[in-house]
């Protein structure tokens, strides 16, 4: 046991109890992340300096897309978790699928659900799905950060046993100090990702090349997720898919990496309409 292992802070997953109504940190993180993403996306499409001429997407489009995004994130994220991570348990008790407050959301599923929503919405409005993906990809970093912090509070997705000085003892995981892999993901997939997207949109003006910011978003998330998977324990019901390193998170992230590289490489040939 390391000398400076950090005990898990006693944080109740329920932020507020109002009679029979329980408000969980997990749900609050999703709401705050979506609200911030909506506000930031409207700022991006309101700033003509970032685009070549008038932005192809209007603030009103972002307002109208909000409900599409919420449905895509929640439905896709939950279905993705059910299919990829815990299908047998949900098959035995399908009612658990609707119990979102207990945790269990897949980023890859949420991404797929949001992409479907973006394709349908962009076709209806007549602008490039890549431009919409650029704007959304540049806006979600803070939401991802808050979601991983909520994972930490819920004592889920913890890391492998370790003796690093910042190891955390999660009571739900036993007495062994572990990597706080949720914090690693919050930093890499949240804060760092948001800053990188900010540099691309405001420093290099990459919104003028539809699909470049989206590709960079997918690439950075995939690389970050693959890196963290070497410190994070896989879901118990799945375990390692091969040897002692290949996980479902890595398998789902590798195609993302290739798609992101393709999207960046072909961005200069696309038009915003």
Q: Answer whether residue 253 is part of any domain.
A: yes
Q: What pLDDT, on the 0 to 100 scale, is given for residue 2?
A: 55
Tell me what the mean pLDDT of segment 129-138 comes to: 96
194 pLDDT higher than 70:
yes
162-185 pLDDT per residue, tens:
999 999 999 999 999 999 999 999
Question: Which percentage of the chain shows pLDDT scores above 90?
Answer: 70
- What average pLDDT does the structure give for the chain? 90
Mean pLDDT over residues 31-39, rounded?
Answer: 95
Domain range for 77 is: 21-269
* Residue 3 maps to a domain: no
Please give the pLDDT value at position 187: 98
Asked, for residue 75, whether it belongs to a domain, the answer is yes
Residue 10 lies in a domain: no
- Mean pLDDT in residue range 229-239: 84
Question: Is 245 among the domain residues?
Answer: yes
Lowest mean pLDDT among 17-31, 48-62, 218-232, 251-265: 17-31
Residue 86 has pLDDT above 80, yes or no: no
Q: Does the residue 53 lie in any domain?
A: yes
Residues 196, 191: Cα–Cα separation, whole Å: 9
Structure tokens given for 37: 């993403």
121 in a structural domain: yes
Backbone angles phi, psi at 41, to 5 degrees: -60, -40
Closest CA relative to residue 38, chosen from 115, 130, 118, 140: 140
Q: Could you tell me if residue 249 is left (phi over 0), alpha (psi between -120 and 50 degrees) or otherwise beta?
A: alpha
Record the tokens describing residue 42, joined without a space.
């409207």
Sole residue written with tokens 């909520």: 150
pLDDT band at 93, cuts 50/70/90? Answer: low
Q: What DSSP assignment string belongs to the chain?
A: --TTPEEPP---SEEEEETTEEEEHHHHHHHHHHHHHHHHHHHHHH-GGGSSSS-SS-HHHHHHHHHHHHHHHHHHHHHHHHHHT-HHHHHH-GGGGG-GGG----HHHHHHHHHHHHHHHHHHHTS-HHHHHHHHHHH-HHHHHHHHHHHHHTT-S-B-B---TT-EE-GGG-SSEE--HHHHHIIIIIIIHHHHHHIIIIIS-GGGSTTHHHHHHHHHHHHHHHHHHTTBPPPTTT--SBTTTB-HHHHHHHHHHHHHHHHHHTGGG----
Q: Is residue 225 part of a domain?
A: yes
Residue 160 has pLDDT above 90, yes or no: yes
How many domains are there within the chain?
1
Q: What is the mean pLDDT of residues 179-207?
A: 97
Tell me, what's the pLDDT at 110?
86
């Amino acid at each position: 046991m390391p000398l400076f292992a950090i005990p898990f802070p006693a944080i109740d997953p329920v932020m507020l109890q109002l009679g029979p109504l329980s408000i969980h940190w997990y749900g609050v993180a999703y709401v705050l992340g979506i609200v911030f993403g909506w506000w930031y996306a409207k700022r991006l499409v309101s700033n003509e300096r970032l685009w070549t001429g008038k932005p192809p997407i209007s603030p009103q489009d972002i307002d109208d897309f909000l409900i599409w995004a919420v449905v895509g994130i929640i439905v896709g994220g939950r279905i993705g978790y059910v299919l990829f991570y815990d299908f047998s348990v949900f098959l035995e008790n399908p009612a658990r699928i609707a119990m979102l407050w207990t945790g269990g959301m897949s980023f890859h599923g949420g991404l797929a659900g949001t992409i479907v929503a973006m394709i349908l919405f962009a076709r209806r409005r007549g602008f490039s799905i890549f431009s919409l993906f650029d704007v959304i990809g540049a806006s979600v970093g803070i939401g991802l950060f808050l979601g991983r912090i909520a994972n930490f509070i819920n004592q889920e997705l913890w890391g492998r046993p370790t003796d690093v000085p910042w190891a955390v003892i999660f009571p739900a995981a036993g007495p062994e100090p572990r990597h706080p892999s949720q914090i690693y993901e919050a930093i890499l997939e949240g804060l760092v990702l948001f800053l990188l997207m900010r540099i691309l949109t405001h420093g290099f003006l990459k919104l003028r090349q539809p699909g470049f910011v989206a590709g960079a978003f997918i690439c950075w998330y995939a690389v970050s997720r693959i890196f963290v998977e070497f410190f994070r324990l896989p879901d118990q019901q799945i375990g390692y898919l091969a040897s002692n390193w290949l996980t479902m998170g890595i398998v789902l992230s590798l195609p993302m990496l290739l798609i992101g590289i393709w999207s960046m490489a072909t961005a200069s040939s696309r038009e915003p309409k």
